[in-house]
Structure 1
Amino acid sequence: MKSGMEIGRTETIEIEVTEDMFASFEGNVVHPVYSTVAMVYHMEWVSRKIILPFLEEHEEGMGAAVQLKHIDPSPLHSKVKLTATLIENKNNQQVLTKVEAFNEHGLIGKGEVKQVILPKDLISQKLSSKQTY
C-alpha cells in the first residue's frame, strides 16, 4: 500500500432511500424502509473509499467482516449519511473502520467493517481454486 493512510481518516457517502433498498425477502417487501442488507452494502462501500487512494496497482481490498447494529428505520426518500473512520491498520494488510449512519432524525446504524489487502494474483489464485465445474 501507498503511504499516508492514517488512523482517523474519514470518508462519507450520502444516499437517498429508494424502493430497491427496502427490507424484502424473495421479492416480497417486509418493511418499506431502508434494509439492514442495504446498510451493510453502504457501510462496506464507504469503508472501501478509505483504502482506494492507497492501493497499489497489484493490490485489492476484500471484505473480511462486518459487525452492524441497525438502530432505527429510515423511510422512502429519506437521506442517509454514512461516515467511515479508520480505527486500525495492521501492517497495511488489515484495515478496520468504524461506520455510523445518520438520517435527519439521528443515528440509525453503527458498526465496523474489516478489509484485508491482498495481492491481486493471490486473490485470483484463491478464486480459481474455489470454482466448481
Structure 2
Amino acid sequence: MKDTLIAGLSHETEITVTQEMLVPNVSAELGAFADMPPVFATAMMVGFIEATCIECLRGHLGDGQHTVGIHIDVSHLAATPKDMKVRAAVELEKIDGKKLTFRVEAFDEAGLIGQGSHQRAVIDVERFVQKVSEKAAR
C-alpha cells in the first residue's frame, strides 16, 4: 500500500441503468428473478458500489496488489427504472491493517436509493490466485 492510501479518500461514478441491470436479467441461472419487476437489481447496485470503491483505490495500492470485497452492509431504499442515471459515492473511512472500510451511498435522478458500508481487503494478487488454484485442485 502506498502512503497516499489514507482515510478520507473519496470517489463518485455514474452509470445509466440498462436492460441487463434489471432484476429479471440478473442471471438465467437464478430463475426466481424471472418474474420480478423490471427495476435496477440490488445485486447490480452492490456491484456498482464495489466497482466505485475499487476505482477510488486506483493509484494507492502497491505493485501486485488489489482488493477483494469481504463485507457489505447496504440498504436498497428505492427502485430505479431502466434508462435512469445512478451515481455511487464512496468514502474510505477507516484503514485497519489491510482491511479498508468505506461509507457508501447510491443515488438515482430522484434521490437516495442505497446506503451503508463496505469492507475490502488488500491482497497480493499472485499469492491470492495461487491459493485459489490450490483450492480448486483439491
TM-score normalised by L of structure 2: 0.88
- Report matched runs for 1:100-115 at 5 Å: 100-115=105-120
* Higher relative strand content: 1
Identity of aligned residues (%): 27
Partner of 2:125: 120
Unaligned runs of 5+ in 2: 25-29
- Report matched runs for 1:31-46 at 5 Å: 31-46=37-52
Superposition CA RMSD, Å: 1.5
Structure 1: distance between partners of 2:17 and 2:129: 34
Structure 1: distance between partners of 2:96 and 2:47: 23
AA matched with 2:22: F
CA offsets per residue over residues 6-37 of structure 1, 9 Å max, x none?
Answer: 21211111011111111124272511110101
Verify: 1:13 aligned to 2:10, yes or no: no
Partner of 1:90: 96
Matched residue count = 132
Q: CA deviation at 1:132?
A: 4.0
Structure 2: distance between partners of 1:3 and 1:63: 21
TM-score normalised by L of structure 1: 0.91
- Helix, strand or coil at the partner of 1:83: strand
CA offsets per residue over residues 86-108 of structure 1, 9 Å max, x none?
Answer: 111112x1111111001111100
- Helix, strand or coil at the partner of 2:83: coil
Runs of 4+ aligned residues of structure 1 deviating over 3 Å after TM superposition are: none
AA matched with 1:128: S
- Helix, strand or coil at the partner of 1:57: coil
AA matched with 2:16: E
AA matched with 2:3: S
Identify which range, 66-75 or 54-63, moves more after superposition.
Answer: 54-63
Structure 2: distance between partners of 1:120 and 1:78: 35
